[in-house]
Chain A
């Protein structure tokens, strides 16, 4: 059995037979060839092979491979198609949009249009401030001045008898500023049957406030009749400049207004109105997760679109090649 030649000797032998060796390499190889039997056998085998390969019969061309105009046009039309370019364009667009989303997401403010509307701060509860500081058990009846059943409003004489049920508690409690002014003009509670008392009302514009002899609620349950006119009520409601020290004097159980025509002092209002609770941080932070979800959905949709159109483009391209 002939010894197997090394890869280098096989290469040398092949180059030698093809005339690819330099003159010096040829001389060295032939010197070896004279003494190496295995090399001699290999050289003769390789030469025989080359002869055989050159004599291998050639195939006859079965037909003419020339191109026709119809073939060229049909192939060109088929290769262009419609779906393949569309899928390629869609893939490119999806990838571009995905890149744009990543870039925009990295911006400090993101896309303003995608920010969720901030949840408004919790509005302070609207308390019925008027009800909180009014004695529900003994609310003072309020008789509108313009009630025709009660008399004539505005200036002038007040022929009707105005009856008031004094409420000792109301003389000291605060009146809420939110108490609507109309409430003062609301239909009053039914008039109590007037006690048999003197009609001491006189249509004198100069009549001032007079403390009825039976004003004290502890002494009499009968309604007291205050000898005062509408003008005096107005004057007392809006105290003159020199009467500021009496501005807080209660009239009809309701404290008169201050200079701003408010029913209570600012301190009283501050005490009455509860402080607005701060918006909890959870409400402020609620916007961030909403925005993140939108980004996630957009990115997922773009990735799916790119994968689908890219796969379709590859399949269409393979089909076009076949």
Chain B
């Protein structure tokens, strides 16, 4: 069954059809939420909330890209969570240690279930560096660079998700990229050599 048929069935109240759509897009939704919120537990709640909201508002889907429609709900839910954090800042009970052994023993951020030790280390370093620089960006800039450069979406689709004009998307993306560039350049030397070489060759 193609996506259009699943969407039609889901609009008519078919929960199973909707759940098949959830399976198709839950990975993308969860990753975007993790990158924007920089918190996996919060991203889990936001993703579940977003899919439930999508199911309740299926009748408002007017056609087009279902992926863009769902990602818009996810992004808005992330913004709501960020605003809630600003109103009610939370202090963690235990200090987060990015260099803790637990991160290496249980790399939940690794999609690949069978990474080598060096790969795990390299990926961990890259993940830490990128997420650190993403956290320094404003919410609007962070969402655009995550959707375009990390998730590989095109400008038009991101414009529909963020609900901003194309020119705004381009402007925010260019400013976010140069901020990230300046931030990562400071920690470029700490990145693994293999990673740096690979990046240089691609240029």
**Alpha-carbon distance A52/B125, docked complex (angstroms):** 12
Interfacial chain B residues near A53, Cβ < 8 Å: 130, 145, 149-150, 180
Q: Are A60 and B110 in contact (CB under 8 A)?
A: yes
Total B residues in contact with A, Cβ cutoff 8 Å: 52
A:62-80 near B, CB below 8 Å: 62-67, 69, 71-72, 75-76
**Alpha-carbon distance A46/B203, docked complex (angstroms):** 9
Q: Are B44 and A14 in contact (CB under 8 A)?
A: no
Is B94 in the interface zone, CB < 8 Å from A? no
Q: What's the least CB distance linking A19 to chain B, in Å?
A: 10
Cβ-neighbour of B55 out of A7, A10, A13, A72 (below 8 A): A72
Is A20 in the interface zone, CB < 8 Å from B? yes
Is B2 in the interface zone, CB < 8 Å from A? no
Q: What's the least CB distance linking B43 to chain A, in Å?
A: 8
A136-178 interface mask toward B, CB cutoff 8 Å, 1 = contact, 0 = none? 0000000000000000000000000000000000000000000
Interfacial chain B residues near A65, Cβ < 8 Å: 22, 26, 29-30, 47-48, 51
Is A57 in the interface zone, CB < 8 Å from B? yes
Q: Helix, strand, loop or mixed for chain B's interface? A: helix
Q: Are B199 and A10 in contact (CB under 8 A)?
A: no
Interfacial chain A residues near B18, Cβ < 8 Å: 67
Q: What's the least CB distance linking A139 to chain B, in Å?
A: 95
Q: Are B170 and A62 in contact (CB under 8 A)?
A: no
Interfacial chain A residues near B202, Cβ < 8 Å: 47-48, 51
Give the tally of cross-chain contacts (CB within 8 A). Answer: 123
Q: What's the least CB distance linking A84 to chain B, in Å?
A: 16
Closest to A68 in B: B15
Is A54 in the interface zone, CB < 8 Å from B? yes
Cβ-neighbour of B170 out of A15, A49, A59, A60 (below 8 A): A15
Is B181 in the interface zone, CB < 8 Å from A? yes
Is A31 in the interface zone, CB < 8 Å from B? no
Is B75 in the interface zone, CB < 8 Å from A? no
B:1-60 near A, CB below 8 Å: 15, 18-19, 22-23, 26-27, 29-31, 34, 40, 43-44, 47-48, 51-52, 55-56
**Alpha-carbon distance A248/B194, docked complex (angstroms):** 143
Is A11 in the interface zone, CB < 8 Å from B? yes
Is A56 in the interface zone, CB < 8 Å from B? yes
Q: What's the least CB distance linking A43 to chain B, in Å?
A: 8
B:111-144 near A, CB below 8 Å: 111-113, 123, 126-127, 130
**Alpha-carbon distance A7/B172, docked complex (angstroms):** 11
B:163-203 near A, CB below 8 Å: 170-171, 173-175, 177-178, 180-181, 184-185, 195, 198-200, 202-203
Q: Are A55 and B126 in contact (CB under 8 A)?
A: yes
Q: Are A11 and B127 in contact (CB under 8 A)?
A: no
Is B108 in the interface zone, CB < 8 Å from A? yes
**Alpha-carbon distance A69/B34, docked complex (angstroms):** 27
Known contacts A65-B47, A65-B48, A67-B15; A57/B126 CB under 8 A:
yes
Q: Are B127 and A49 in contact (CB under 8 A)?
A: no
Q: Are A10 and B22 in contact (CB under 8 A)?
A: no
Interfacial chain B residues near A45, Cβ < 8 Å: 181, 185
Q: Are B181 and A61 in contact (CB under 8 A)?
A: no
Q: Are A69 and B15 in contact (CB under 8 A)?
A: yes
Is A117 in the interface zone, CB < 8 Å from B? no
Cβ-neighbour of A75 out of B15, B27, B52, B199 (below 8 A): B52
Q: What's the least CB distance linking B196 to chain A, in Å?
A: 8
Interfacial chain A residues near B43, Cβ < 8 Å: 59
27 A-B pairs within 8 Å (CB atoms) are namely A11-B170, A13-B174, A14-B170, A14-B177, A14-B178, A15-B170, A15-B174, A18-B155, A20-B170, A44-B203, A46-B177, A46-B178, A47-B203, A48-B202, A49-B181, A56-B130, A57-B126, A59-B30, A59-B31, A59-B108, A60-B113, A62-B40, A65-B47, A65-B51, A66-B22, A67-B55, A72-B15
**A interface list, Cβ under 8 A from B:** 5, 7, 10-11, 13-15, 18, 20, 44-67, 69, 71-72, 75-76
Ranked nearest first, the 4 interchain pairs of A and B with the lowest CB-CB distance are A14-B174, A66-B19, A53-B149, A51-B202
